[in-house]
């Protein structure tokens, strides 16, 4: 089975958005370069970031996200940034009126992903691992990622750290309130206005 990696873009003080779900300059590095991550897409980053992100996204088989992220992105119109399957952790079922179609303007992939709505984090991770096979399971940081970490289901923590201090907002680790030791970072890549880090979770 592939690794389960908790990931998000994050401020240096540990926030993935402000209290109003605004990301401010967190995603600026996605458009401050001249190298496309996906041919024909709007994302253009530095060469260092492109090499890292392309490899990371290519390895993702499935994504696990919360219902809030699904709602604010409209499920990426059925075409997520990476992976062939999306598991939404939600007590509410798939919306009856959600009929994604067409290509996402930022991620113009040809094939839509399959979507599953599961109410339990542990079962969502298990389903994602089953669907991903030998590929990576990417878990969105925040409340769902924090729950997965607290349950011991996360193998690695990935952060794209942007040099900004938010002061308050939505925490990268959600409601985690106990100590979790990580190994020294095995990935440290400096992009333009972003630092890509990857840590294994110490068992």
pLDDT digit string, tens, across residues 85-122: 999 999 998 888 887 765 555 555 556 899 999 999 99
Q: Phi first, then psi: what are they for 122, rounded to 5°?
A: -60, -45
> Each residue's pLDDT tens digit in the chain (203 positions)?
789 999 999 999 999 999 999 999 999 999 999 999 887 778 999 999 999 999 999 999 999 999 999 999 999 989 898 999 999 999 998 888 887 765 555 555 556 899 999 999 999 999 999 999 999 999 999 999 999 999 999 999 999 999 999 999 999 999 999 999 999 999 999 999 999 999 999 99
Give the span between the Cα atoms of 58 and 36, in whole angstroms.
14
- Quote the pLDDT of residue 112: 82
- Quote the pLDDT of residue 109: 54
- Quote the pLDDT of residue 39: 79
- Quote the pLDDT of residue 107: 54
Q: Residue 182: beta bridge partners?
A: 201
- Quote the pLDDT of residue 104: 52
Q: What's the half-sphere exposure (Cβ side, CA atoms, 13 Å) at 110?
A: 1
Domain ranges within the chain, ordered by starting residue: 4-96+104-200
Q: Is this structure's pTM higher than 0.75?
A: yes
Domain 4-96+104-200 -> CATH class: alpha beta
Radius of gyration of the chain (CA): 16
């Amino acid at each position: 089975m592939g690794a389960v990696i908790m990931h998000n873009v994050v401020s240096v003080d540990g926030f993935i958005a402000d209290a109003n779900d605004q990301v401010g300059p967190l995603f600026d590095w996605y458009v401050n370069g001249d190298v496309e991550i996906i041919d024909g897409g709007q994302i253009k980053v530095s060469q260092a970031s492109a090499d890292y992100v392309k490899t990371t996204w290519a390895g993702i088989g499935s994504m696990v996200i919360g219902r809030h992220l699904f709602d604010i992105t409209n499920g990426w119109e059925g075409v997520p940034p990476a992976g062939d399957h999306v598991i939404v952790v939600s007590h509410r079922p798939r919306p009856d009126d959600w009929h994604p179609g067409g290509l996402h303007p930022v991620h113009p992939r040809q094939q839509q992903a399959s979507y599953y709505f599961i109410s339990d984090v542990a079962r969502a991770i298990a389903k994602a691992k089953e669907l991903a096979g030998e590929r990576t399971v990417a878990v969105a940081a925040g409340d769902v990622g924090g729950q997965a970490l607290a349950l011991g289901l996360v193998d690695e923590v990935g952060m794209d750290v942007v040099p900004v201090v938010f002061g308050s907002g939505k925490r990268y680790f959600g409601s985690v309130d106990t100590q979790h030791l990580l190994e020294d970072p095995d990935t440290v890549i400096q992009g333009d206005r972003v630092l890509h880090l990857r840590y294994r979770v110490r068992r």
